[in-house]
Every structure is written in C-alpha cells, then in structure tokens.
Amino acid sequence: MKLTFITIFPGLVEDFCKEALISRAIKNKKILVKTISPREFTTDVHQTVDDSPYGGGNCGMIMKAPPLISAIRKATGRKKSADTLIILLTPSKKIFNQKMAVKFANKYKHIIFVCGRYEGMDARVEKFVDLKLSIGEFVLMGGEVAALAILEATARLLPGVINHGESLIHEESYGQKFYLEYPKYTRPEVFEKMKVPKILLSGHHAKIEEWRKGKSATKK
Ligand code: SAH
C-alpha cells in the first residue's frame, strides 16, 4: 500500500517513519510512504500557503486552495484510480474507527492524506477529497499526527506488517471476538504483591477464554 501525505511539514512524517514497525514495513516493501509539500506549487518567493479569511474576524490564517489542490493532483496522477482514497483531516467531521481501518486495509492501494495547519483549509479543497475524517473530539495543531494515527491503524492490518496472524483481527480491542481488550500479564508471576490471576496459570484453555470474555465485556 502506498500512503501519500500532503503536508507543509514533510519532516514530521519522514521522522515518524524512521522508527519501529513502520520503518520495518517500509524496508520490507509492505508500505511505501511519500510526502508532497503544497509549497512546491506556490508561485511567490515566500512560497506562501496561507492567507487571511474572507469575511474577516480574528480566526487566524487559512490554507490556500490552489497549492493544496495541485498537491492532490500530483498525488493522484492524471487520473485518480478506483483504489485510491483521498482523506482530508479535520476535527469536526466523522471520527475514524477500527472498522474503517479494516476497510482501508482491504480495499485501497493508495491513501492520500491532506493535512491542514493554521485554522484549517479553504473549503473548496473539500471537493477534491473522498472522505473528511477526525481522530477525536479535540483540536490538534495540524493534520499530520491524525494522519499518522490512521496510517498505523491501517498498516498494522496489512499482511506481513505484524506477524500475529489471526489474533490481530479477532482477539484485540474492536476485533470480532471480544469488544474490548482483556487484561494481559507476563513475567514475573508476582510483582510487589500483585499476582497474576491463577486461571491464567492453569493451562485450561477453555476456562481461560471464558475468563477473558468475562473480563473484556465488563471493561468499558
Ligand atoms: N480551526 C479549525 C481547527 C484547525 S486545526 C476548527 O475549528 O475546526 C489545524 C488542522 O489540524 C486542521 O485543518 C486539521 O487538518 C488538523 N486537525 C486538528 N484536529 C484534528 C483532529 N481531531 N482530527 C483530525 N485532524 C485534526
């Protein structure tokens, strides 16, 4: 899967991709991450990507439409293919969830993230995107962290990115078997008088599964 970030801070995305599982997935060619800066498409010496809003008020600067739209066009190539998805990051629209991550991982070969900064974007950019997504009811400084969250949630579901097989889909939070994660333990068996529940040491798989189900159902 290819993931393109349209951002005026490409370094944020590039640095993030240098570590951990994402960097390994890139090395193993499971994913390809690209950045495009809207500044490439400006025509003035200052490479201006923002301007004050029509209608006034003190709501700060707005990202200009032309550089963003040119960046989207560069990302899609001449004709946008059906397996390309363009997502605009915004705090006020639909909230991203696991179900969407599964759909993205299964359905698309290229995801393009359009990351805002300042007080957001000229509304005309919305015409050029497929989806407007938020990662939660709070306001970030920019769309990059939100887009990277969606990248992580989606990329870890692609074959070969994490080698946990079936457990990944079924057993974790928001998977099919249990709604939320159950409590997990690893060595040591006792730590500062806190013990691992006996059932987990019993080797009785059916009972362990029953216990986990009970724990995950009551967690929320
Ligand atoms: N004034 C805007 C907020 C701008 S924040 C408003 O009131 O809605 C600047 C940029 O950060 C946004 O354009 C968006 O791309 C990104 N952003 C901020 N919070 C976000 C969130 N919760 N989810 C996704 N993107 C977010």
pLDDT at residue 219 above 50? no
Say which CATH number the domain at 34 has.
3.40.1280.10
Domain boundary among 114, 135, 155: 155
How far, in Å, is the centroid of ligand 1 from the Cα of 173? 26
- Ligand 1 centroid–CA 14 distance in Å is 20
CA nearest ligand 1 atom 2, residue: 119
Tell me the percentage of the chain whose pLDDT exceeds 70. 93
Residues 34 and 59 in one domain: yes
My answer on whether 28 and 63 are in the same domain is yes
What ligand 1 atom has the least distance to the C-alpha of 63? 13
Q: Kindly report the pTM of this predicted structure.
A: 0.92
How many structural domains is the chain composed of? 2
Per-residue pLDDT tens digits for 30-56: 999 999 999 999 999 999 999 999 998
Q: How many Å apart are CA 130 and CA 113, to the nearest integer?
A: 10
Same domain, 126 and 74: yes
Tens of pLDDT, residues 118-161? 999 999 999 999 999 999 999 999 999 999 999 999 999 999 99
